[in-house]
Structure 1
């Protein structure tokens, strides 16, 4: 029997988060929501991540109104959100009862699939949100944040996936936020996960380094069940591979894909106009639309790239972009090789930027980095040099 591969489209969330710092407005989505609902996607990622913050801080929108509006039009297709575990959609840990109430209200207002992650892959930070999702009866998709270091071995990921399934995950996502999962490594990883888990495996990657399409073909051949793509106008570069192209290619390879290509054409036409509008007004920098193989060296996620460039633009320091890129892996090493995903990506990116702009490393240190070094966010993947830690926080007591 032909194997079915589910397609999750990110046009309503991660595509524009990665390309233009989450600045797409609800009015730019509304005209095609009903058509999107008929396209046959396994799910539509449309909320969570940075959308909550961006709606309030930059777009003058109520994020809850946005979710209710999306659900009003997207009645057939499961709606998916990205949830930061104990951080919810913020940048620090919240109390368990706050996490539970947020999940409850998210489900009530339209979310069907909760993709739950912790920036440090510390499963202790996933327990409250997982339990809250299970209470709602919605899908709890637990997430492995993929990164590369001596500590992040195949055995490390196998152990993590097995623990997540044991905790009650309905599916597990391999989240390659920096686009650094190579085809060979992807095959090895998915096959290894299949040895220890039975729940569906979803793979999420970005085109940042230029290898995402090859990686998707490889992981599907290895047994992955679902992938994330973005409609072509907001695909490629720091976003995901184009939905239409992947549907055609995977069908020709013999996979069963439920997406209706004919229904995507008018939707893509709409978003081409939207894309041109955002390029013209400067919201979308064309620099974000092309791959940069240096991502394989710097391991910087798409959303982090667009936000860093935006910060440097505001500071009138875009000439420092390359220097900041080179500083990122140095800061990441200092901090014990955390995966570069929210909130760690913001911490590392901001610290790298400050190190470069001040001309002296760690002359200015953000409060978030100080809290991280105090242990407030969980355990770092690799032990942090005690001399470095003490140079920042002095003799303050560290949370274990």
Structure 2
């Protein structure tokens, strides 16, 4: 823990999920300035599903991609601006445009067992001279050993940082340690290890600290935990714990507290908190961005959204399969009718 922890703020990307991707240009500018002045090292700014995500499938963002990225770039004095790309949702041309808009960090995300689809995108980001990150989503859905093999692929493609990503907030501290420890032991000494946590089981900060103690050097967080499901690791909470533990970082605790309390929380349309639906996400291991889709479908079809999420988990859904939710809700409604 002697090395200073790099904080990657995801308020303007993962936080997009919690506000239905409706941040305005003015809100993006204000949040970027606050996050930057609070000491975060990297600020990620795209649609919640990354470059190319604004669509009927995932929800249209209020502002276009160029506006989101350029506004973040223009309002950050110190932090690097990052973009997320999920191959198949975003394409290489999207990455090139984002780089042209001023993005310096590229995070290429795949399902935890599908790193092979990222080769061209990681290679292009590295060729562009971007800080290139491999982002292994839903990391609870495979063994630590298999996750390491996928990480090695991303490393070979040119990723300088590899993340264990707890997209469902389903990992325990032991689960987190097991994955980070293998990365630390078997990846190159020059490869940085990152961790992205969600708070669906109330373990966002705990897992982030476990990751740091085991060798992670880059940690994701967001103001007031703003993000999908029960939200991400909250920046202000993480800063307080790191201060208590003597972990070195660049965050200003009071500034993160004030930004979370005075600006972020009033922007929330739905409180980012652990409730019965977000807890179900973590318990069943369902992708955190499914929460609002399941909540809406449950109301529309008169079924319990927890049953939708449980069925989705049984089907093995991964990120990008939100369209399954309507079909599941219809099936549950029909079953309810038959048994009534």
Which structure 2 residues correspond to residues 168-317 of structure 1 after superposition, within 5 A? 168-198=158-188, 199-232=191-224, 234=226, 238-268=230-260, 269-275=262-268, 278=269, 284=270, 286=271, 289-291=273-275, 292-313=278-299, 316-317=300-301
Preserved CA contact (<8 Å) 1:86 1:128:
no
Preserved CA contact (<8 Å) 1:116 1:142:
yes
Preserved CA contact (<8 Å) 1:161 1:196:
no
C-alpha displacement at 1:353, in angstroms?
A: 2.8
C-alpha displacement at 1:208, in angstroms?
A: 1.1
SS at match of 2:12: coil
In the other structure, the counterpart of 1:9 is: 9
Q: State the TM-score, normalized to the length of structure 1.
A: 0.74
Establish whether residue 159 from structure 1 lines up as the match of residue 149 from structure 2: yes
RMSD over aligned Cα atoms: 2.6
Equivalent-residue separation in structure 2 for 1:197 and 1:82 (angstroms)? 22
In the other structure, the counterpart of 1:22 is: 21
Preserved CA contact (<8 Å) 1:67 1:109:
yes
Preserved CA contact (<8 Å) 1:80 1:113:
yes
Which structure 2 residues correspond to residues 32-51 of structure 1 after superposition, within 5 A? 32-50=31-49
In the other structure, the counterpart of 2:312 is: 328
C-alpha distance after superposition, 1:226-245 (max 9, x if no partner): 11111127379621122112
Q: 2:121 aligns with which of 119, 126, 129?
A: 129
Equivalent-residue separation in structure 1 for 2:235 and 2:140 (angstroms)? 27
In the other structure, the counterpart of 2:71 is: 69
Equivalent-residue separation in structure 1 for 2:244 and 2:62 (angstroms)? 44
Equivalent-residue separation in structure 2 for 1:48 and 1:59 (angstroms)? 6
Equivalent-residue separation in structure 1 for 2:67 and 2:15 (angstroms)? 21
Q: 2:96 aligns with which of 104, 127, 132?
A: 104
C-alpha distance after superposition, 1:142-162 (max 9, x if no partner): 12223445xx22221121112
Equivalent-residue separation in structure 2 for 1:229 and 1:264 (angstroms)? 11
Equivalent-residue separation in structure 2 for 1:114 and 1:38 (angstroms)? 22
In the other structure, the counterpart of 1:379 is: none
Where structure 1 has 5 or more consecutive residues not aligned to the other structure, the ranges are 89-98, 279-283, 333-337, 361-400
Which structure 2 residues correspond to residues 77-92 of structure 1 after superposition, within 5 A? 77-88=79-90
In the other structure, the counterpart of 1:386 is: none
C-alpha displacement at 1:221, in angstroms?
A: 0.7
Where structure 2 has 5 or more consecutive residues not aligned to the other structure, the ranges are none
C-alpha distance after superposition, 1:276-332 (max 9, x if no partner): xx3xxxxx2x4x52255433442112211122213444xx23543122122112222
Equivalent-residue separation in structure 2 for 1:224 and 1:348 (angstroms)? 34
**Equivalenced residues, count:** 328
Preserved CA contact (<8 Å) 1:7 1:229:
yes
Preserved CA contact (<8 Å) 1:55 1:61:
no
Equivalent-residue separation in structure 1 for 2:63 and 2:209 (angstroms)? 38
C-alpha distance after superposition, 1:59-104 (max 9, x if no partner): 553221222122111242111122102431xxxxxxxxxx332211
Structure 1 residues 2 and 322: CA distance shift in structure 2, 3 A: closer
C-alpha distance after superposition, 1:234-287 (max 9, x if no partner): 379621122112111112212111112233344331223323xx3xxxxx2x4x
Larger of the two Rg values belongs to structure: 1
